[in-house]
Amino acid sequence: MTDKKRKVKGEPGSGLDGLSKRFGNLLGLISKMAEEGTEELTRTGEIKGLSGKARGVYGFTVKMGLGGQPSVQQFDNLRETEKGPAVAEVREPIVDVFDEGDFVLVIAELPGVEESHIHIEVREDVLELTAEAKDRQYHKEVLLPSLVDADSMESTFKNGVLEMKLAKR
């Protein structure tokens, strides 16, 4: 039986030069996923020592959609600056948005934070998500597929995963 979900932890590195090497050939990975029937693949890694105590994290998730259409979402806290790579204080979380007919479902991964530290603001068709813990901060603005009623929002948070359900206008 084939495992439908795979999670692979990358090896720690010492710079951005090896990122593409650690990720491997993305097209090759997608082909292998299709051959094996794998629905989701996640690769993550860490870069230490960019600027003192700073720790860079990076990764991507590939999900196979209908008809074998891959969807790739990357995440990291690394930014290219004039002085070279730098670790950003704020991370962009992985967020999935689903149009469910009468409502929009938004699922965000926020590991390492508590529910009381999450702030959500909804304006028309934009959802802004902010969360902060001792050692990490998250921020992302998400364009929703339609206008929603902010007052209708129902949310649950468990094991670092936030689910928000918003009725469409």
Same domain for 43 and 75, yes or no, is: yes
Which of 2-11, 62-71, 143-152 is predicted with the least confidence, judged by mean pLDDT?
2-11
Q: Report pLDDT for 55.
A: 66
Distance CA 23, CA 16 (A): 11
Q: What's the pTM value of the predicted model, to 2 decimals? A: 0.61
Same domain for 17 and 45, yes or no, is: yes
pLDDT (mean) for 110-127:
94
Of 57, 87, 117, the one marking the end of a domain is 87
Of 59, 87, 115, the one marking the end of a domain is 87
Instruction: Indicate the number of domains in the chain.
Output: 2
Q: In which residue are the tokens 């928000």 written?
A: 164
Same domain for 95 and 72, yes or no, is: no
CATH number at residue 155: 2.60.40.790
pLDDT (mean) for 53-77:
72
Q: Report pLDDT for 154.
A: 96
Distance CA 83, CA 21 (A): 23
Of 63, 87, 111, the one marking the end of a domain is 87
How many CA atoms lie less than 13 Å away from 66 in the CB half-sphere? Answer: 0
Structural domain harbouring 62: 5-87
Q: Percent of the chain having pLDDT more than 70?
A: 76
pLDDT (mean) for 25-31:
71
Q: Report pLDDT for 25.
A: 62
pLDDT-derived band at 53 (thresholds 50, 70, 90) equals: low
pLDDT-derived band at 43 (thresholds 50, 70, 90) equals: confident
Same domain for 95 and 107, yes or no, is: yes
Same domain for 102 and 82, yes or no, is: no
